[in-house]
């Protein structure tokens, strides 16, 4: 592996990192320049195969656990020590961009490349992780497999999850060939760092490059079914209708009002299905999702009570029934102060002023934080836009984030 050298002058290869980002965007690339790489699809298998091949070419060994989480390991001076880890996810939204999630994986790859090229041997093993199904766009809820790792979900309940087409998670995992033998959650971790685009506008607006993420806001997801009665659109008078879609529209508007009343909360309906979905039939049933978020768990609970009360009142007034099922509850997370300080110190050493920030979106790091010291690094994205094919970052910011990740990893290697 070469002679051990000082880590203080190590830097990642920004050109190679950018080339990796562009190359992996081919797996599920869309005509609009984005990426559609849903979890456990053929495109997911392709990018995983690329990941394994690339990590092995850097001298790493790659293992896979029972949930398909991948671990690329670079040996340390003392391989009996638990690894210092970094990572994120390779899956995307249906209309995703080139950088969400994968920047953290490829930034970690850039760290491994920098260590190898410098001949630098760390005390701990260093591992790069790809977590399965962070997005939750095909199988819900999100972050399921880091959730199994952290003991939030059982392995069996995740394996039995089904997508909207009725396909089972466990069967899809087997089909792409990435169900490993190691029981999920038994893999040791000394510390974990995750590089990610901000997915919001703060860093760009303040003309800053690095966010030292202090935690993640609380969030809850729900599935809502509104049941009315199908009827002929031409012969059913307005006062006699039981219109599920009309009631749902009022509910969606009410959710937005609840979120505004609890600022800086957010409330979103991102998926809706209408039945029978015919132009001359009064809709008899709708299904939609609700996503609410706020940095304080008490406010999230208050929002839940408020929107449920509003929904039931709207249902009664419209002559329909409403069923609300909470499917995910992720309390607010506070990252390890020592790891956050390592990120901030690494940023300053690299010449950047770190900005303390709380993440609006959820990340695998939020679950890993329950079982290991954890922190995150944010870099800006253009206009704060993410979960969109037009998602964009600069090569300079990608390189800066990866260098801060490298600095944090070296600090953790010395501290733990």
Binding site per annotation, positions for Zn(2+): 89, 100, 135, 196, 387
Give the single-character DSSP code of 96. Answer: B
Length of the chain measured in residues: 416
Residue 142 to residue 53: CA distance in whole angstroms: 27
Residue 52 to residue 45: CA distance in whole angstroms: 11
Other residues' Cβ atoms within 10 Å of the Cβ of residue 92: 32
| 267 backbone dihedrals φ, ψ, rounded to 5° | -140, 135
Residue (of 98, 29, 51) closest to 394 by Cα position: 98
Q: CA distances (Å), 108 to each of 60, 233, 276, in order?
A: 12, 57, 47
Residue 338 to residue 361: CA distance in whole angstroms: 22
Give ∠ CA 104-17-402 in degrees, rounded to 5.
Answer: 50
Cis peptide before 141 (omega within 30 of 0): yes
Residue 130 to residue 33: CA distance in whole angstroms: 23
Residue 252 to residue 269: CA distance in whole angstroms: 7
> Greatest CA separation found in the chain?
84
Give the strand pairing for 211-216 and 266-268.
unpaired
H-helix or E-strand containing 346?
Answer: helix 337-349
User: Could you tell me which residues come within 8 angstroms of residue 145 by beta carbon, excluding any fewer than 6 positions away?
Assistant: 67, 68, 69, 131, 132, 133, 134, 158, 184
DSSP H helical ranges for 64-182 = 102-118, 144-149, 155-159, 169-176
């Amino acid at each position: 592996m070469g002679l051990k050298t000082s880590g203080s002058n190590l830097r990642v290869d920004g050109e190679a990192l950018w080339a990796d980002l562009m190359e992996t965007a081919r797996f599920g690339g869309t005509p609009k320049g984005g990426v559609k790489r849903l979890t456990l699809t053929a495109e997911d298998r392709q990018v995983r195969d690329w990941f394994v091949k690339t990590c092995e070419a850097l001298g790493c060994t790659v293992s896979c656990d029972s949930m398909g989480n991948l671990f690329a390991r670079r040996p340390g001076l003392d391989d009996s020590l638990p690894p210092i880890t970094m990572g994120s996810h390779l899956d995307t939204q249906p209309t995703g961009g080139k950088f969400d999630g994968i920047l953290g994986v490829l930034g970690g790859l850039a760290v491994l490349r920098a260590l190898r090229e410098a001949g630098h041997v760390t005390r701990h093993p260093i591992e790069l992780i790809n977590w399965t199904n962070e997005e939750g766009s095909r199988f819900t809820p999100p972050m399921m497999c880091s959730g199994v790792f952290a003991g939030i979900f059982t392995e069996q309940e995740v394996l039995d999850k089904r997508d909207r087409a009725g396909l089972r998670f466990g069967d899809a995992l087997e089909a792409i060939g990435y169900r490993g033998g190691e029981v999920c959650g038994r893999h040791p971790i000394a510390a974990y760092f995750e590089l990610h685009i901000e997915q919001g506008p703060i860093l760009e607006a303040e003309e800053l490059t690095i966010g030292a993420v202090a935690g993640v806001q609380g969030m809850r997801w729900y599935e809502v079914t509104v049941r009315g009665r199908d009827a002929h659109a031409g012969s059913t008078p307005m006062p006699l209708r039981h219109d599920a879609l009309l009631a749902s529209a009022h509910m969606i508007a009410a959710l937005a009002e609840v979120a505004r009343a609890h600022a800086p909360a957010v409330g979103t309906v991102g998926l809706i299905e209408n039945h029978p979905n015919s132009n001359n039939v009064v809709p008899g049933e709708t299904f939609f999702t609700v996503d609410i978020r706020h940095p304080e768990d008490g406010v999230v609970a208050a929002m839940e009570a408020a929107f449920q009360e509003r929904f039931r009142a709207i249902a009664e007034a419209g002559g329909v029934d409403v069923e609300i099922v909470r499917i995910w509850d992720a309390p607010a997370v506070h990252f390890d102060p020592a790891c956050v300080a390592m990120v901030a110190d690494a940023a300053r050493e690299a010449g950047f002023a770190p900005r303390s920030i709380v993440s609006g979106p959820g990340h695998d790091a939020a679950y890993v934080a329950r079982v290991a010291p954890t922190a995150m690094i944010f870099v800006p994205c253009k206009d704060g836009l993410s979960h969109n094919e037009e998602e964009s970052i600069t090569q300079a910011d990608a390189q800066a984030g990866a260098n801060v990740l490298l600095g944090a990893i070296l600090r953790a290697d010395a501290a733990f």
